[in-house]
Amino acid sequence: MSIKSGFVALAGKPNVGKSTFINVVMGRKVVIVSDKPQTTRNRINCIYTDRDSQIIFVDTPGIHKPLHRLGEYMVKAAVQALKGVDLILFMLDAADGFTKTDEHVAKIVSESGTKTIIAVNKIDVAGEEKAKAVGQLAKSMVENVVSVHYISALKGEGVFEVLEKIKEELPEGPQYYPEDMVTDRPLSFMAAEIIREKIFHLTRQEVPHSTAVVIEEIKDRPNGVLYIRANIYVERDSQKGILIGKNGSMIKKIGTLAREELEFLVGRKVYLDLNVKVKENWREKDFIILQEIGLKDDIK
């Protein structure tokens, strides 16, 4: 039996709700969501599979970067990347109105000529009129728009209509990935992202941004438990104190929440071993780069 399958690029400025949308579609948490912009340092490709379709949601490098950092070359590269996908999902924020960054994303999307679905998100907090204005402006700026939807990813409103439309527009094709695969990222990457998300949610000010999570070890224990050891690097002793908390209460909270989510992801018991370490100026160190581009080994 043939299915509908293909690659869908998620385009939209930071914080419009791309991760929230993906999480609703996937029915479980696979992408970090935060109210602090650009938390998803490394974007994850998510694979949605059902009876008659497989959709691979991909990120477009360059498109989320601040305008001032976008050289002509990067714009070209982004356009080129969008030419290579089957469909674009261009997301906008109804509450924000149509901004300069939206205009810039719209230009890149339009230039690719690729079929585009527009989703105006956050209608739960914006008036209908404002949302419609955003949708219409976006539509007028993009060449190949197949439909415009008004949604609230947070409330799950309209998300499945978008999903149906995506399926309708995708070509018939093969199932590219096994059906139980939800992301093409290794487990070590997912684990680091999940731990980082908890730190983002539970701590304030400079702490989240001074934190790096490096997965040191993932091992199958004979009793079926998955053992994961992670180092959490901060830049100063004071930050270490905050992360550990009074009598270890904060790190315990982070650990419990992260473990529960990891257990959900891998479908079995997880033992999470977290160690907070101070490493001055870790941002300049290359070990974190290695981790972020996924060079650490996955489960052995």
Ligand X SMILES: Nc1nc2c(ncn2[C@@H]2O[C@H](COP(=O)(O)OP(=O)(O)OP(=O)(O)O)[C@@H](O)[C@H]2O)c(=O)[nH]1
In the bound state with ligand X, the residue whose beta carbon lies nearer, of 23 and 291, is 23
Q: Is 281 part of any known ligand binding site? A: no
Q: Please state, as a whole number, how many other Cβ atoms lie within 10 Å of the Cβ of residue 54.
A: 22
Instruction: Give 281's contacts (C-beta < 8 A, 6+ positions apart).
Output: 235
Which residue stretch of 10-18, 48-56, 104-112, 280-288 sits at the interface with ligand X (rule: CB under 6 A)?
Answer: 10-18
Interface with ligand X, residue 40, by CB under 6 A: yes
DSSP codes joined into one string, 225-236: PEEEEEEEEESS
Nearest distance from C-beta of residue 39 to ligand X, angstroms: 5
Amino acid, single-letter form, for residue 221: R
Nearest distance from C-beta of residue 229 to ligand X, angstroms: 27
Q: Is 13 part of any known ligand binding site? A: yes
Q: Is 121 part of any known ligand binding site? A: yes
Number of separate helices (H) and strands (E) present in the chain: 10, 10
Strands 226-234 and 270-278, sheet pairing = parallel
The alpha-carbon radius of gyration of the chain (Å, integer) is: 20
278: which strand partners?
234
Nearest distance from C-beta of residue 6 to ligand X, angstroms: 21
Interface with ligand X, residue 99, by CB under 6 A: no
Considering only residues 3, 26, 34, 107, which one is a binding residue for ligand X as defined by CB under 6 A? 34
E strand map for the chain: 3-11, 46-50, 53-59, 87-93, 116-121, 145-150, 172-173, 212-220, 226-234, 270-278
Interface with ligand X, residue 39, by CB under 6 A: yes
Which residue stretch of 31-39, 81-89, 163-171, 284-292 sits at the interface with ligand X (rule: CB under 6 A)?
Answer: 31-39
- 300 in Cβ contact with 294 (< 8 Å): no
Nearest distance from C-beta of residue 279 to ligand X, angstroms: 25
Residues 242 and 28: their CA atoms lie apart, in Å, by: 29
Q: One symbol per residue from 139 to 178: x for binding ligand X (CB under 6 A), - otherwise; what is it? A: -------------xxx------------------------
**Residue 83 belongs to what H/E stretch?**
helix 72-83
Amino acid, single-letter form, for residue 237: D
Q: One symbol per residue from 173 to 212: x for binding ligand X (CB under 6 A), - otherwise; what is it? A: ----------------------------------------
- Number of amino acids touching ligand X (CB under 6 A): 23
Which structure tokens are listed for 87? Answer: 């469909």
Considering only residues 2, 28, 37, 164, which one is a binding residue for ligand X as defined by CB under 6 A? 37
- 215 in Cβ contact with 180 (< 8 Å): no
Nearest distance from C-beta of residue 21 to ligand X, angstroms: 7
Considering only residues 104, 122, 196, 198, which one is a binding residue for ligand X as defined by CB under 6 A? 122
Binding-site residues: 12-19, 59-63, 121-124
Residues that bind ligand X (CB under 6 A): 12, 14-20, 33-35, 37-40, 64, 121-122, 124-125, 152-154
Binding-site residues for GTP: 12-19, 59-63, 121-124
